[in-house]
Amino acid sequence: MLATFLMLATAAWSQGMTKGIMSPPASVRPPYLENVGIEQRLDAQVPPDLAFTDDTGKPVKLGDYFAKKPLILNLVYYKCPMLCGEALAGLSGAMKMIKFDVGNEYEVVTVSFNPKETTADAAAKKAEFIKRYGRPGAATGWHFLTGSPDSINALTKAVGFQYQYDAARNQYAHATAIMVLTPQGHISRYFYGVDFPPKDLRMGLVEASHEKIGNAVDQVLLYCYHYDPATGKYGAVVSNMLKLGGGLTIVLLGGLLLILFRLERIAPRRAWDDTKSGHAGLKPTGYVR
């Protein structure tokens, strides 16, 4: 029941049904959700020295993943009965719909916020979703981590992820989101809910990469669509679309006029050449009365 409520609440928040971002005032939250929400920390630095353990049992720091590629960061717990699995399924589904490959153009870091979960839990969850994603080489680019309470608390505070433990149900109450990070570990974008539009995810990765990935079409889309922090989505910028449309119209008209001008100059010359060639082939035959 709690998981169902949280899923509905997350969907509502992600569609902008509350004021601002996914963190309604605590005074209007139900008692068991007082400390649940997501407060945006756009451009904040994710602490690179936070220590975790990866899905192979190797000690790592978050900064180990900060390099030349943008990252997707998401916070779940591996034994979550419903919501986290839906969020991971939504993420892997969106990733399959874009041409960028995990491990090549970007990386994913999934962190459990339950300090009791183990490397075995992380490895099992990784195997499940690497198989679901289904692209070669993904295992080297999608990392599943566990950590100590101190590291988890520091990370969740840095990204504005608020959750609370429900001892009666032995579950965590939490919202869901993914965060897109720059290669240096700064928070660039938040996308909420359990269903992530592939177009938004691709544009978020292109922006976070500082245009080091993507193509000319992505640049046009980023000119016409801007990220709205209040909804966690990209929306059309009508003024930019009109400017782009006007510019294309001018270019097309200019090209058409240039073609017509050249045809106008060429036409008399061709007519003169045709006349000369016609006269050259005539022979005097006299007049016929």
Tell me: pLDDT of 221 over 50. no
Residue 75, CA distances (Å) to 129, 178, 216, 277, 286 in order: 15, 8, 32, 82, 101
Token pair listed for 240? 């930019």
pLDDT top residue among 41 and 261? 41
pLDDT of residue 228: 72
The reply to whether 111 falls in a domain is yes
The reply to whether 255 falls in a domain is no
Q: Where are the beta strands (DSSP E) in the chain?
A: 37-38, 51-53, 59-61, 71-76, 107-112, 142-147, 161-166, 171-174, 177-181, 187-192, 225-228, 233-236
At 15-34, the pLDDT tens digits run: 333 333 455 555 555 555 67
pLDDT of residue 234: 66
The reply to whether 227 falls in a domain is no
The reply to whether 131 falls in a domain is yes
The band of 36, judged by pLDDT with boundaries at 50, 70 and 90, is: confident
Residues spanned by the domain of 186: 2-196
CATH number at residue 102: 3.40.30.10
Q: How many CA within 13 A on the CB side of residue 157? A: 8
Q: How far apart are the first and last CA of the chain?
A: 109
Beta bridge partners of 235: 226
pLDDT of residue 269: 59
pLDDT top residue among 272 and 210? 210
Domain count, the chain: 1
Token pair listed for 66? 């900060």
Helix axis angle, 198-208 to 83-97, nearest 10°: 80
User: Mean pLDDT of all residues in the chain?
Assistant: 78
Give the whole-angstrom CA distance, residue 96 versus residue 132: 9
What phi and psi values does residue 250 have, to the nearest 5 degrees?
-60, -45
At 143-177, the pLDDT tens digits run: 999 999 999 999 999 999 999 998 888 899 998 99
pLDDT of residue 154: 98
The band of 14, judged by pLDDT with boundaries at 50, 70 and 90, is: very low
At 256-266, the pLDDT tens digits run: 556 656 666 66
- Three-state SS annotation for 106-152: EEEEEEECCCCCCHHHHHHHHHHHHHHHCCCCHHHCEEEEEECHHHH
pLDDT top residue among 152 and 1? 152
Mean pLDDT of 39-50: 95
pLDDT of residue 241: 40
Percentage of the chain with pLDDT > 90? Answer: 53
At 48-106, the pLDDT tens digits run: 999 999 999 999 999 999 988 999 999 999 999 989 999 999 999 999 999 999 999 99
The reply to whether 47 falls in a domain is yes
Residue 170, CA distances (Å) to 79, 165, 167, 175 in order: 11, 7, 5, 17
pLDDT top residue among 64 and 234? 64
The reply to whether 253 falls in a domain is no
The reply to whether 106 falls in a domain is yes
Tell me: pLDDT of 130 over 90. yes
pLDDT of residue 41: 93
The reply to whether 284 falls in a domain is no
Q: pTM (2 decimals)?
A: 0.72
Tell me: pLDDT of 199 over 80. yes
Token pair listed for 123? 């490895």
Greatest Cα pair distance, the chain, in angstroms, is 120
